[in-house]
Chains A and B, each alone.
Chain A
């Protein structure tokens, strides 16, 4: 397995434009998470899926953000009408549904978004 893949690695967009990121999780992982990380901070939870169902979404998440995971495989995160405050590293992670000793999240390398 090649791990968790995210595309693109970098995205520069003008304020007000829409952007979409893609995440391909580890194939046997049925949980998929989106996090956002800014400089000097830990990853901040955005949303997570179990298979194709979106089970939780952060209350801090603006309505401009939407995520999908059709067919329970890859996921997309869309940000509409981007703002400068959206500039951050967007991390995707995947895991098994039941974590036991030795199991954790596997993170992708992230998509760095810069809104100008």
Chain B
């Protein structure tokens, strides 16, 4: 079942912050975040495994609430290079293991303007 991302699109001025949410109706084993620029391949940002730990990647961090089956991606002090479409990919979990298959959301288009 496809995870739901919100918002669908957001426009930021350089230096502003943004939060992108991803929720699933199924028990999650892990959540991945990817960024895709127009005409390019998705690029891996980070993975969050079960445990609710917040991971960081420069000014981009994420959290994973496994009780709520939700993940959020935090972009702080946005830069022009952050523009692109952000996808969460969710991996279902069962019997303590992952399904080894990512299901991606429809994406959140982020535009950073000067």
Contact = CB atoms under 8 A, between A and B. Distances in A.
Interface of A: 4, 31, 33, 35, 40-45, 48, 50, 55-56, 91, 99-110
Nearest to B43: A107
A41 B106 contact: yes
A87 B87 CA distance: 21
Interface of B: 2, 30, 32, 34, 40-47, 49, 55, 87, 89, 100-107
B107 to A, nearest CB: 5
B102 A105 contact: yes
A106 B100 contact: no
A99 B47 contact: yes
B41 A48 contact: no
A4 to B, nearest CB: 8
Contacts of A91: 41-42
B42 A56 contact: no
Contacts of B89: 42-43, 105
A54 to B, nearest CB: 12
Given A50-B100, A110-B41, 14 more contacts: A33-B102, A40-B106, A41-B107, A42-B105, A42-B106, A43-B87, A45-B101, A91-B41, A99-B30, A102-B46, A103-B47, A104-B32, A104-B47, A107-B41
A31 B100 contact: yes
Contacts of B107: 40-42
Contacts of A99: 30, 47, 49
Nearest to B42: A107
Contacts of B49: 99-101
The 8 closest A-B pairs by CB, nearest first: A42-B104, A104-B44, A107-B41, A42-B87, A43-B104, A107-B42, A109-B41, A104-B47
